[in-house]
Amino acid sequence: GNSVTQMEGPVTLSEEAFLTINCTYTATGYPSLFWYVQYPGEGLQLLLKATKADDKGSNKGFEATYRKETTSFHLEKGSVQVSDSAVYFCALTPNRDDKIIFGKGTRLHILP
């Protein structure tokens, strides 16, 4: 079946630290991959996406590369800010399906 596994949180970092949140997936066919972010008290919003192997999605200083050989889509940012504190969800849609399959989310705390 289709599923997403991401590292458990919470992840706590100091401001300006390097961030990696690991995500691996299991899917049939060629899924599209996403990172969504949920800020406190809000709904989820799309952060970035990649639709085919070796694509790199990027937004707000965050990046993730679609690695088919390792079935991974790790989220990275070179220098985090306090405002990046949120819950991050890795997700996929199999073959442009209607539904999105979300991981369990990783809570990120950035200390000033």
Partner 1 sequence: DAGVIQSPRHEVTEMGQEVTLRCKPISGHDYLFWYRQTMMRGLELLIYFNNNVPIDDSGMPEDRFSAKMPNASFSTLKIQPSEPRDSAVYFCASSSRARPDTQYFGPGTRLTVL
Q: How far apart are CB 14 and partner 1 at their closest, in Å?
A: 26
Distances (CA, A) of 90 to 7, 26, 28, 37, 45: 10, 12, 17, 9, 12
Site for partner 1 contains 96 (CB under 8 A): yes
* Greatest Cα pair distance in the chain: 43
Q: Which of residues 22-41 bind partner 1 (CB under 8 A)?
A: 32, 34, 41
Site for partner 1 contains 100 (CB under 8 A): yes
- Of residues 19, 44, 80, 108, which one binds partner 1 by CB under 8 A? 44
| Residue 92 or 110 having the CB closest to partner 1 | 92
Site for partner 1 contains 60 (CB under 8 A): no
β-bridge partners, 11: 108
Site for partner 1 contains 42 (CB under 8 A): yes
Site for partner 1 contains 73 (CB under 8 A): no
Give the DSSP per-residue string, 17-79.
--EEE-EEEE-SS--EEEEEEE-TTS-EEEEEEE-STT-EEEETTEEEE-BTTTTB--EEESS
**Residues near partner 1, by CB under 8 A:** 32, 34, 41-46, 49, 89, 93, 96-100, 102, 104-105
